[in-house]
A and B are shown apart, each in its own frame.
Chain A
Amino acid sequence: MGKIKIIAEREFNERVRKKSFIITTILMPIAFVAIMFVPALMMNISSDEKKEIIVVDQSGMVGERLQDDGQMMFSLSDKGFDTLKEENNEVFGILVIGEDVATNPSNVQLFTYESSTINIESAITEQVRNIIEAEKLKQYNIDDLDRILGEIKTPVSLQVKQLNESGEAKDSSAILNIALAYVFGFLIYMFVFLYGNMVMQGVIEEKSSKVMEVMVSSVKPFQLMMGKILGIAAVAITQFMIWVVFILVVGAGAMSLLGGDELLAAAQASAAMDPAMASMSGAEMSIDKDAAALINTITDPGYLVRILGGFLLYFVGGYLLYAAMFAAVGSAVDNEKDTNNLQLPITIPLILALFVMMSAMQEPNGPLAVWFSMIPFTSPIVMMVRLPYGMPDGFWISVLLLYGTFLAMVWLAGKIYRVGVFMYGKKPTLGELLKWARYKS
């Protein structure tokens, strides 16, 4: 145990003192925010530019009632479609509404000069449908139609409260739940990859520089492997803690500068990027109402402990499990180029977990989420989706499975490692790796 500690200390000191550690510590949060939020912000920016659409209305019913919105600008034209087409106006497109549109609703055509988007298409469809429906309703000659319609309109605002075991109702913020699940799941994915790779590279470096040969007479290969894994884990936790402090400071600063609403809007836009999330967050969700729920949720200590505690448990467990696998792969090769094939069994479950996490957001306690949050290779990422919605069933079983699998994996990886570090000039297959594990010491 003493030797593992000495090794872990070296790994930690060497890495933390490096310039690259300081640089990644600064750049990673920026990159992370960029990956997660910039596309959402970009979508907002690009929608500011309005698309001009010339309307050729043969029905005489729809055209003048089309309304400009955030993304489109309509202009009626008396000219025929053929003339307009030849004029080659610098517009987004030409909307042709057929004479019989009331009876033949598919006689609406949009010709565009550039590729159209789902947003524009659905907005046009929506407008045309509303106009025709209103027109049809008018034909029933109901008195006071406008007043009746006005009275019928009912803006429903759903108040979501989550009941805990003692029957207390608490505000539940879907947006926050989704955002946290997304951020934490993604963080685990990134950390496991990044730091797992660091373990692998470290092992390859020791092997190719023959330091390993000197080391094995003073320490067991297993101690060498565990020391490395734990030392790098300490680096990861240190880096994470720096970020937590950093985020708290920046977050507090941003809140006071921008106000909560704008941040929320950005978060919501980001969540809406994913179609799965969009269906949950919904377009009608009121930001004000959600802000209240958000603040109530985030100040709930039980919620925080569950989310952060769960995150740390799975973050460490997931890293340990995958780091052991990365170490075994590193021990088997002479240089990094040879790792590609061997890394597949590591990367596939990781990427699978990320995809499952995305779809599990629709149904955080559905069978998909539940099963994959039990399988140790995917649970660290997938469980992040379930955590915000209350203590998940089988949470501790999943944690036990994860750490149990980690121990089994370390044992297996140690056996491979022990053989692998003395194998040079070989490009082993996965099958050979497993065969090594069966060698006697």
Chain B
Amino acid sequence: MEVFLKIENITKQFAGHTALDDVSLEVPRGCVYGLLGPNGAGKTTLIRIINHITAPDKGRVWFNGHPLSPADVANIGYLPEERGLYKTMKVGEQALYFAQLKGLSKAEATARLKKWFVKFGIEGWWNKKVSELSKGMAQKVQFIVTVLHEPQLLIFDEPFSGFDPINANLLKNEILELRDKGATVIFSTHNMASVEEVCDHITLINKSKNILSGSLDEVRRSHGGNIFEVDFRGDKESLVGALAGLPCGLLDESLIADEDKENHSERALKIHIERDEDVRSVVEVINNTVQLRTFREVIPSMNDIFIQAVAKHSAK
């Protein structure tokens, strides 16, 4: 895993409160990195530090192997959560203006913009005023402006807000495509379902601290608590009896599924296996006792993990 962006022990204080407290994280190259956390946790401050808008009090940022410098900003595309366009300007002119501020020449920017406008099916908007656009339409333009200069690092803060499901999906695919082309994406959101869909890695920030980091799979598995769901056909009592002597526990809630599936003569159990090395022997016993249909690990949703982790950290 090659690290593209490295945040090293960043601390940032504002008058009266600490926005970031000794936060470190590593963003691998070419992945979508979810930056999660409750409101006011310090995400926006961290993003602003990466964007060189504010400077940290302590700590360092490494960008593509060297300390972050103001010149790197040209290699970053940032779509802030709070975003706006000049209302009285025309869409095309405005997109050109932002592109030029990112260092593109006028001709280059025009060519690329035309391509993107066609891609998003908005060629007809070029000469429209921004005030005539709906929120979702304006968001599309902003997305284009963010990625137009083909930066190595893209930062999206709540990119899907204001989009209908169809356009949100379009945008999601664009983000994944940009990643596949080699861009590194930082993705900040409260929408956990979209995190599961697009993120490869995540970091959870709560109360100015990094409380959870890792690849999405790792994080979800580590929060799984080694719970497995067993679907089977056969006698439940005999299975429970057979499992009694093994290093695993039955979970009470699992029995509910039993009643529902009576007609299909299919039953389900939720069991907890403490140690990974015991999984095989447990499966063997189950397989010998009943007709095993499904055996899978129950992986908690990001939503559950988020709430759990924040509650646990806040309680400390």
Contacts and interface: CB of A to CB of B under 8 A. Distances in A.
Interface of A: 3, 6-7, 10, 14, 205-206, 209-220, 435, 439-441
Contacts of B88: 14
Given A216-B51, A217-B51, A217-B76, A210 B82 contact: yes
Interface of B: 15, 51, 53-55, 57, 70, 73, 76-89, 97-98, 100-102, 142, 145
B76 A209 contact: no
A100 B238 CA distance: 141
B316 to A, nearest CB: 30
B241 to A, nearest CB: 63
B57 A440 contact: yes
Contact of A218 (B54, B57, B73, B82): B73
B83 A7 contact: no
Nearest to B87: A209
A213 B85 CA distance: 10
A215 B85 contact: no
Complex A-B, nearest 4 residue pairs according to Cβ-Cβ distance, in ascending order: A210-B84, A217-B78, A209-B84, A213-B80
Nearest to B101: A218
B84 A217 contact: no
B85 A217 contact: no
Given A14-B89, A441-B54, A441-B55, A213 B84 contact: yes
Contacts of B57: 440
A217 B53 contact: yes
Contacts of A210: 80, 82-84
A264 B263 CA distance: 110
B53 A218 contact: no
A214 B83 contact: yes
A213 B82 contact: yes
Main SS at interface, chain A: helix
29 contacts: A6-B97, A6-B100, A6-B101, A7-B101, A209-B85, A209-B86, A209-B87, A210-B80, A210-B84, A211-B84, A211-B85, A211-B86, A212-B84, A213-B81, A214-B78, A214-B79, A214-B80, A214-B85, A214-B98, A214-B145, A216-B51, A217-B51, A217-B53, A217-B76, A217-B80, A218-B73, A218-B101, A440-B55, A440-B57
Given A214-B78, A217-B77, A218-B98, 19 more contacts: A6-B97, A6-B100, A7-B101, A206-B86, A209-B85, A209-B86, A210-B80, A210-B82, A211-B85, A213-B84, A214-B142, A216-B51, A217-B51, A217-B76, A218-B101, A218-B102, A435-B15, A439-B15, A441-B54
Contacts of A10: 97
A216 B49 CA distance: 12
A435 B145 CA distance: 35
A284 B176 CA distance: 87
Contacts of B78: 214, 217
A205 B130 CA distance: 14
A439 B54 CA distance: 11
A382 B102 CA distance: 43
Contacts, number: 60
A205 B83 CA distance: 13
Contacts of A206: 86
A219 B102 CA distance: 8
A346 to B, nearest CB: 25
Contacts of B100: 6
Nearest to A6: B100
A211 B51 CA distance: 16
A440 B13 CA distance: 10
A22 B132 CA distance: 24
Contacts of A216: 51, 53
Contacts of B53: 216-217
A205 B15 CA distance: 27
Contacts of B73: 217-218
A435 B14 CA distance: 12
A336 to B, nearest CB: 16
A104 B77 CA distance: 93
A214 B84 contact: yes
Nearest to A5: B100
A420 B182 CA distance: 36
A10 B90 CA distance: 12
A230 to B, nearest CB: 15
Nearest to A3: B101
Contacts of A6: 97, 100-101
B153 to A, nearest CB: 11
A3 B98 CA distance: 10
Nearest to B106: A6
A13 to B, nearest CB: 9
Contacts of B83: 210, 213-214
A7 to B, nearest CB: 7
Contacts of B85: 209, 211, 214
A225 to B, nearest CB: 14
A231 B314 CA distance: 50
Nearest to B54: A441
Contacts of A435: 15
Contacts of B76: 217
Nearest to B76: A217
B230 to A, nearest CB: 51
Nearest to B97: A10
Given A14-B88, A209-B87, A219 B80 contact: no
Nearest to B157: A213
Nearest to B13: A440
Nearest to B56: A440
Contacts of B102: 218
Contacts of B84: 209-214
Contacts of A440: 55, 57
A219 B78 CA distance: 12
Q: Which of A205, A212, A216 has the most CB of B within 10 A?
A: A216
Contacts of A441: 54-55
Nearest to A10: B97
Q: Which of B51, B86, B101 has the most CB of A within 10 A?
A: B101
A435 B15 CA distance: 10
Contacts of A217: 51, 53, 73, 76-78, 80
B52 to A, nearest CB: 8
B22 to A, nearest CB: 18
Contacts of A205: 86
Contacts of B54: 441
A205 B85 CA distance: 10
A92 to B, nearest CB: 57
